[in-house]
């Protein structure tokens, strides 16, 4: 995955033919998510089938998702191999979301590429979106939020409840609101040392 464009934003007016097409795609994505959310833990094959239809690209047998799952659109989500998405995750992908190999996403995580202008006069007139890139071997712990324009570097960990507004360097553990670096990680060491969602208060 390329990161050169990871901060490039787009602005779309909430009226006109382009928005009409976008709104149709959002409705399509939400309908497919609703169908996916009627499935259970034993319906892994059908979950993969619907998720593949949602994104427009077939996921392989290593992809795992536990419903419910929420999205707006879905066509701009890209996932690698051995990706795991836990329950109650939300991905709003208008700006594009790339998820690398062996990424683990905990429950109640929000990956949100789009937002509104700060200026009150423009807030309802435009949607502003920036892409999110999550590199290989990242763990995003429960309740974390990743905002548009962010790249999360490989082997990194985003702590429980963190709000990530800036890029995360490779091999780092970030936590807090807004997220900050807690410590550097050893990518090839410390296997099995922790089992719970990382909490900066324990360090």
User: CB burial class (10 A; 0-12, 13-18, 19+) of residue 120?
Assistant: exposed
Q: Is 116 in the active site?
A: yes
* Rounded distance between C-alpha atoms, residue 134 and residue 150, angstroms: 8
Give phi and psi for 163, each to the nearest 5: -120, 110
Asked whether 133 and 152 are in contact (CB, 8 A), the reply is: yes
Asked whether 77 and 58 are in contact (CB, 8 A), the reply is: no
Within a 10 A sphere around the Cβ of 64, how many other Cβ atoms? Answer: 16
180-184/172-175 β-pairing? antiparallel
Catalytic residue among 7, 81, 116, 191: 116
Closest CA to 166 of 183, 146, 184: 146
Active site residues: 116
């Amino acid at each position: 995955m390329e990161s050169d464009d990871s901060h490039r934003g787009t602005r779309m007016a909430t009226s006109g033919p382009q928005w009409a097409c976008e709104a149709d795609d959002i409705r399509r994505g939400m309908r497919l998510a609703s169908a996916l959310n009627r499935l259970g833990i034993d319906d892994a094959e059908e979950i993969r089938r619907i998720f593949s239809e949602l994104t427009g690209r077939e996921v392989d047998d290593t992809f795992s998702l536990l419903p419910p799952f929420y999205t707006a659109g879905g066509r701009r989500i890209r996932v690698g191999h051995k990706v795991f998405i836990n329950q109650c995750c939300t991905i709003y992908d208008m700006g594009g979301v790339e998820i690398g190999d062996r990424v683990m996403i905990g429950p109640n995580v929000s990956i949100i590429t789009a937002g509104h202008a700060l200026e009150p006069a423009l807030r309802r007139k435009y949607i502003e979106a920036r892409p999110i890139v999550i590199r290989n071997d990242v763990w995003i712990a429960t309740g974390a939020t990743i905002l548009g324009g962010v790249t999360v570097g490989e082997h990194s960990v985003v702590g429980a409840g963190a709000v990530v507004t800036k890029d995360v360097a490779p091999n780092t553990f970030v936590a807090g609101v807004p997220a900050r670096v807690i410590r550097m990680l050893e990518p090839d060491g410390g296997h099995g040392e922790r089992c719970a969602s990382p909490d900066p208060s324990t360090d």
